[in-house]
Amino acid sequence: MKRVFFLFIIFSVSLAGELKAQFPSYSKHDISASYGLFGPDQFMKVESAMLNKQFDDKRYVRDNFSGIGNIFLTYRRLNRAETMLWGVSLGYGANKSKIYYVGQYSGELTRTFYTLAAELELRYVNKGIIQVYSGVGLGFTFGQETLSATAAHPSESSGNLYRPAFQLNVAGIRIGNKIAGFAEFGYGYKGLINIGLSVQLF
């Protein structure tokens, strides 16, 4: 996992240096806040080091999943033609679920996630107030989890999660000029659907 984080740092620094060299004298900024639904933890196996320690035969399952979604703040810069954006994104998400061990309720699992990622966006339609684009993101997610105490599991347990993070925006649309709303559809740390508000500063 340290190797993934190290590669992410190299990727971020290299991308920033290359783009700065390509567009050295132009400054235009995009700041956005967004909310995403159906994040990756909802579809991944619930397995973790903490749960494996509590249930060493791994005969546990998750049920009754609920989450607050994923909240992200993103800062990006634009090139002169306004067809390419690059920057960083910082996000937070949390969810709860129930853990059952061989059919017996064994506690409530609470997880929180923090994500930092470098992002690149390419606009292929940029006419008037409508921009259509695709994009990618690569970063790192740190998570914390807690399993509540029950009769079957008499003490509360906690642990950490470390995951590489990625986002593939298959299609996104932004409607507006300096201030605009947007919606994105893809898969990754921002979820399957990501909607938000974008402000561009000159």
Q: Say how far apart CA 100 and CA 63 lie, in whole Å.
A: 8
Q: Say how far apart CA 180 and CA 123 lie, in whole Å.
A: 15
Of the candidates 119, 140, 39, which has an alpha carbon nearest to the alpha carbon of residue 75? 119
Q: Which domains does the chain have, with CATH numbers?
A: 2-201 (2.40.160.20)
pLDDT of residue 6: 52
pLDDT of residue 27: 53
Q: Say how far apart CA 118 and CA 190 lie, in whole Å.
A: 13
**Strand blocks (E) in the chain:** 29-37, 60-78, 84-101, 104-127, 130-147, 157-176, 179-188, 193-201
* Burial label, 93 (beta-carbon count in 10 A; 0-12, 13-18, 19+): buried
pLDDT of residue 17: 54
Q: Say how far apart CA 104 and CA 63 lie, in whole Å.
A: 12
pLDDT of residue 26: 47
pLDDT of residue 82: 83
Q: Are strands 104-127 and 130-147 parallel, antiparallel or unpaired?
A: antiparallel
pLDDT of residue 10: 55
Strand partners of residue 158: 146
For 151, residues 6+ apart whose C-beta sits below 8 A from its C-beta are none
Query: Which of the 8 DSSP states describes residue 81?
Result: T
pLDDT of residue 182: 97
Distance separating the N- and C-terminal Cα atoms of the chain: 39
Counting as low any pLDDT under 50, the low residues of the chain are 5, 16, 19-26
pLDDT of residue 1: 54
Strand partners of residue 185: 171, 193
pLDDT of residue 77: 92
